[in-house]
């Protein structure tokens, strides 16, 4: 070991800096062969890091089940009902939204840009689907906290078959269709979110952020069928109310770095075949990295109310692609996404 009166630099015969630091660390800890301890720790790191990366994505599912447990406890505590004058679940939604918003801020530095583009009335929000749509969970929390509104969402059929999820989906107003139900929700003045790519986009897309919608255009037909009707009362009571049809706002949405937070192995031949065969997302995921997540809401998409569903779908796809081109580094890079935590953009909501 190096004597106390020696230095780490002694002319040309000096030890390399890191070797010197290891010797100093060994003396400070009072142990010998500290290099062996460090090598052992390095081996452990190489063994357990892949396991951690595979486990972290399922920590999100664990958080969802904690949310469900809380909702069941809340449901049984009927004494809380009197504390909220509007709805039994308002208090639960406020609590859950606050917890998820806190998780978003701490783990991902989550931001929403363009919240002012959400109208007071109905709107159809079309978003890109990440491997795990945790960005949409965060977005729903933001909407409830800042707007006091729930954003309905169309979820895949398999989600409703996950054990224990029924209460969570019911409280946060998730649905799996059909089209007539979506039209009814919009005509009632609510917000509705749809990811046309759905599970296929979640599994098969990658760090190139390619949009995988296929020929899906049902969401466009929903927008056409759900034209907003605003009733204007005439000043003269003798006149009848008139009805004016307005264009339903279609708002594109994209979250920067969502593919760097969680990665899917669904693009491999085996898992692609399994999905196409059984329509279940069997593909494993890894990640859970604390990358910077920024959700961007685009301007409402202008379209002719008399346009076909194909035309509206194409315009919407181009609007989402424009957000990706503007805000996303292609191909996505995990290291750069982590460094984005230290870079500031325009003021967010």
Angle at which helices 17-29 and 34-76 cross, to 10° = 70
Say which residue the tokens 């907003």 belong to: 228
Tokens of 240: 């009848």
Distance CA 133, CA 157 (A): 15
Distance CA 294, CA 337 (A): 11
Question: Among residues 43, 72, 113, 129, which one is catalytic?
Answer: 129
Residue whose C-alpha is closest to residue 248's, from 223, 270, 231, 225: 223
Q: How far is CA 323 from CA 38, 53, 89, 211, 252, in A?
A: 46, 29, 34, 12, 8
Q: What is the torsion angle, in degrees rounded to the nearest 10, for the CA atoms of residue 61, residue 65, residue 70 and residue 72?
A: 150
174 neighbors 133 (Cβ within 8 angstroms)? no
Residue whose C-alpha is closest to residue 161's, from 173, 169, 153: 169
Distance CA 124, CA 253 (A): 10
Query: Does 190 qualify as catalytic in the annotation?
Result: no
Strands (E), 111-158: 111-113, 123-127, 151-154
- Using alpha carbons only, give the angle 150, 152, 157 rounded to the nearest 5 degrees: 145
Catalytic residue numbers, as ranges = 129
């Amino acid at each position: 070991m190096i004597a106390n009166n020696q230095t780490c630099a002694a002319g040309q015969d000096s030890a390399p800096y890191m070797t010197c630091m290891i010797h100093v660390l060994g003396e400070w800890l009072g142990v010998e062969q500290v290099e062996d301890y460090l090598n052992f720790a390095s081996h452990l790191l190489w063994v357990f890091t892949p396991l951690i990366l595979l486990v972290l994505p399922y920590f999100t599912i664990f958080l969802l089940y904690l949310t469900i447990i809380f909702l069941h406890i809340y449901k049984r505590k009927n004494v809380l009902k009197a504390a909220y004058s509007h709805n039994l679940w308002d208090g639960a939604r406020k609590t859950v939204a606050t917890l998820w918003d806190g998780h978003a801020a701490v783990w991902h530095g989550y931001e929403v840009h363009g919240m002012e583009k959400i109208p007071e009335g109905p709107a159809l929000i079309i978003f890109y689907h990440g491997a795990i749509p945790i960005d949409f969970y965060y977005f729903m929390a933001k909407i409830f906290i800042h707007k006091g509104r729930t954003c309905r969402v169309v979820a895949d059929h398999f989600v409703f078959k996950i054990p224990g999820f029924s209460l969570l989906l019911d409280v946060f107003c998730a649905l799996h269709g059909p089209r007539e139900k979506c039209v009814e929700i919009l005509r009632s003045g609510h917000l509705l979110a749809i990811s046309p790519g759905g599970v296929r986009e979640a599994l098969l897309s990658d760090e190139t952020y390619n949009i995988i919608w296929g020929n899906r255009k049902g969401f466009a037909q929903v927008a056409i069928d759900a034209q907003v009707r605003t009733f204007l009362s005439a000043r003269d009571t003798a006149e009848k109310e008139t009805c004016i049809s307005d264009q339903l706002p279609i708002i594109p949405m994209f979250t920067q770095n969502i593919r760097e937070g969680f990665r899917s192995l669904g693009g491999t031949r085996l898992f692609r075949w399994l999905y196409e065969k059984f329509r279940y997302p069997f593909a494993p995921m890894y990640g859970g990295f604390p990358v910077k997540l920024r959700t961007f809401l685009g301007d409402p998409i202008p379209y002719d109310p008399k346009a076909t569903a194909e035309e509206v779908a194409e315009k919407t796809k181009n609007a989402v692609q424009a957000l990706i081109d503007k805000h996303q580094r292609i191909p996505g890079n995990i290291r750069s996404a982590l460094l984005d935590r230290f870079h500031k953009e325009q003021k967010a909501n």
